[in-house]
Structure 1
Amino acid sequence: MSENLSKNPSFEDVAEILSEPLRRYLERMVGNRATADDLLQETLLRIARGLPKFEGRSSVKTWAFTIATRIATDYFRRPDTRAKIVDMDKAPEIPDSETDVERRMVIDEMNSCVREVVDTLPEDYRAALVLHDLQGLTAAATAEACDCSLATAKIRIHRARARLRSALNVECNYYRDEQNVFRCERKCPKEPSDPK
């Protein structure tokens, strides 16, 4: 998609090609469509102001995600905000069978577990994970978007994945059912022991 952008694209081209991926990224980061739309507008304004000075040292896509990441970071610094990553699957179609309904419920439960755990990641890990694993940026583009070295970006991605795996193992039991479908079940919270 962004391959269609030239080294000196017009703002209209950038907005047309990158608005939707930027909005999805921002919504995953902040967990709210209206807030993501506001942050997207701010991102597009900064892109419009900065585009005449864009030197092409990176791709336009990486540069735009760098701007969006900085705007999201500023948003997270506000004391009244709490960052969330939200699964951006489109609304599912009406299922054709009971099996489809059950499969959708399993996927939704697993997505819920993942969203809750990702929400607890530090902001820099969350941004690296979303940019790399959900938005499909390379490690180098992720590093640039997060304003860190390539080595730091790789470490953040690795540590975010490790924390995600570890937390999910604490929160959930994973197994394969009789149809060999991967399933997730929440572990019951521990009951406080009665002092005697």
Structure 2
Amino acid sequence: MRDIEARLAKLAYNGDRNAFSELVDLYTDKIFHLANRMLGNRQEAEDIVQETFLRVYKNLGKYDPNQKFSTWIYRIATNLCIDRLRRRKHQYSLDAEVADGEGIDWHAMLASDEPGPEQRLILSEIQLQMRKAIEALPEKYKSVVILRYLHDLSLQEISEILDIPVTTIKTRVHRGREFLRRKLEQDKLLL
């Protein structure tokens, strides 16, 4: 896959629109899910997807084919999300959107074995608690937790995406996990 993506990136850089279109097809959903999880807002996630591909297109000449394309594009998307979070930090309530269910990926909450209404309700409440806990994570832990557990990236890949040493990534993953555990235990006591 790595060679295919590098070849597509090179073709796109040389003006092949079909090659760029294939890259967009390969990564649109992945980038959207990353942005939606980080930002908790579908509209902003869609904006991040567009901005990511715009930046990819403008910077194809800077892409190093020896590097995984996924690492490069995730770095762009993650940085855009972090910038967006920083800009809205003072004016955004973390549970404002979750309260009415907007921004929740309801399809992801449905199990494949088609549970009954009671199981769906329990599952949706667990997913909602997890989403709230992830949204409450401090910014420096949120991106590593999302990339590690929701996108199943290795610590090395996250290190390359965020341009942070692997040891720091390990620490942030551990602390983020601990924050989530405490938050979920606290919320459980409140239920």
TM-score range relative to shorter protein: 0.7 to 0.9
Maintained 8 Å contact 1:131/1:142: yes
- 1:111 & 1:57 partners in 2: Cα distance? 38
Partner of residue 180, structure 1: none
Partner of residue 53, structure 1: 62
- 1:155 & 1:110 partners in 2: Cα distance? 26
2:156 aligned residue (91, 116, 140): 140
Maintained 8 Å contact 1:117/1:167: yes
Q: CA deviation at 1:147?
A: 2.0
1:116 aligned residue (112, 118, 132): 132
Partner of residue 22, structure 1: 31
Maintained 8 Å contact 2:109/2:123: no
Partner of residue 75, structure 2: 66
- 1:23 & 1:56 partners in 2: Cα distance? 24
State yes or no: 1:170 paired with 2:169: no
* Aligned partner of residue 26 in structure 1, secondary structure: helix
- 1:60 & 1:96 partners in 2: Cα distance? 35
Q: CA deviation at 1:96?
A: 9.9
Mark the runs of 5 or more structure 1 residues left unpaired by the alignment. 174-186, 189-196
Mark the runs of 5 or more structure 2 residues left unpaired by the alignment. 13-19
Q: For the structure 1 residues 96 and 21, does the alpha-carbon distance in structure 2 shift closer, same or farther, using more than 3 Å as the test? A: closer
Q: What TM-score, normalized to structure 1?
A: 0.78
Structure number, greater radius of gyration: 1
Partner of residue 181, structure 1: none
* Aligned partner of residue 8 in structure 1, secondary structure: helix
4+ runs of 1 displaced by more than 4 Å?
81-87
Q: CA deviation at 1:152?
A: 0.9
Q: For the structure 1 residues 118 and 92, does the alpha-carbon distance in structure 2 shift closer, same or farther, using more than 3 Å as the test? A: closer
Partner of residue 16, structure 2: none
Maintained 8 Å contact 2:158/2:169: yes
**Greater helix proportion:** 2
Percent identity for Structure 1 against Structure 2: 27
Q: What TM-score, normalized to structure 2?
A: 0.80
2:107 aligned residue (65, 75, 90): 90
